[in-house]
Amino acid sequence: MRLVLLGPPGAGKGTQANVLSQKYGLLHISTGDLLREAVKNKTPVGQEAKKFMDKGELVPDEIVTQMIIEKFKHSDISPGFILDGFPRTKRQAQILDQALAELNLPLDMVLYFETGEDTILKRLTGRRVCQNCGYNFHIVNIPPKNEGICDYCSGKLYHRQDDKEETIRNRIKVYNEQTRELIDYYQIKGLIKKASGDLEVEALFSILQKIFKETRLI
């Protein structure tokens, strides 16, 4: 199954993507990770992307899309994939659609996690991220065994600058403005399925499984 996950920051996209990819053997593509990986490995696309990052500019949509396609070519995606964090705009979705059409890998579904602002604030202000492996902990919901230290790789956990309350409110606003058109775009294509991002991990996951069954994806 080929999925895109949409939802504001803190909607639980990353967590669900992890659960889904484990359960169904899907390739989980987080464009942030992909970008960092390509730059670190100095791939041609990575070097191209770095030029923009060094100037403090956004990496163009075409380059991000190219990176995703590269990743597909070097991975087993026969069970499918999950895109998490991309596309974010209608334009990105159009570029992505075109690239996927060329590979004959059209999207099956776009899951949109509708999430209340209170939930988002509660989650994000408590979030701590491993600076080494990127795993997300939460001081209340998923506390690490030892404070400030990653359970998996012993890396140091940090509070992201953009996880502070006023920054979060602004990120939600920007996200909603940016994605309105994107959601309409997928809605017209009949790809959107909505689920509540306010739910806890397991409850949301069972809703998703129900959706997959209803639409015969599983």
C-alpha atoms less than 13 angstroms from C-alpha of 189 in its C-beta half-sphere: 18
Residues 133-152 close enough to bind Zn ion by CB under 5 A:
133, 135, 150, 152
Among 29, 129, 130, 208, binds Zn ion (CB under 5 A): 130
Active-site pick, 36, 88, 122, 194? 88
Active site includes 123?
A: no
Quick check: 129 binds Zn ion (CB under 5 A)?
no
Active-site pick, 36, 50, 90, 171? 171
Q: Least separation, in Å, of the C-beta of 153 and Zn ion?
A: 3
Quick check: 35 binds Zn ion (CB under 5 A)?
no
Q: Least separation, in Å, of the C-beta of 163 and Zn ion?
A: 17
Active-site pick, 13, 123, 128, 193? 13
Active-site pick, 160, 164, 169, 180? 160
Exposure b/e, 26-50, CB count within 10 A at least 16 = b: bbbbbbeebbeebbeeebebbebbb
What is the C-alpha to C-alpha distance for residues 86 and 103, in angstroms, rounded to an integer? 18
Active site includes 88?
A: yes
Phi-psi region of 186 (alpha: psi -120 to 50; beta: other; left: phi over 0): alpha
What is the separation of C-alpha 194 from the centre of its chain, rounded to a whole number of angstroms?
A: 16
Quick check: 116 binds Zn ion (CB under 5 A)?
no
φ, ψ (nearest 5 deg) of residue 118: -60, -45
Length of the chain: 218
Q: Least separation, in Å, of the C-beta of 128 and Zn ion?
A: 11
130 in Cβ contact with 24 (< 8 Å): no
Active site includes 160?
A: yes
Quick check: 218 binds Zn ion (CB under 5 A)?
no
In the shown chain, the binding pattern of residues 53 to 92 toward Zn ion, with x for contact by CB under 5 A and - for none, equals ----------------------------------------
C-alpha atoms less than 13 angstroms from C-alpha of 177 in its C-beta half-sphere: 6
Residues 157-196 close enough to bind Zn ion by CB under 5 A:
none
Quick check: 131 binds Zn ion (CB under 5 A)?
no
What is the C-alpha to C-alpha distance for residues 150 and 131, in angstroms, rounded to an integer? 9
Quick check: 155 binds Zn ion (CB under 5 A)?
yes
Q: Which two tokens stand for residue 8?
A: 């504001």
The residues carrying an active-site annotation are 13, 88, 127, 160, 171
The binding site for Zn ion (CB under 5 A) comprises 130, 132-133, 135, 150, 152-153, 155
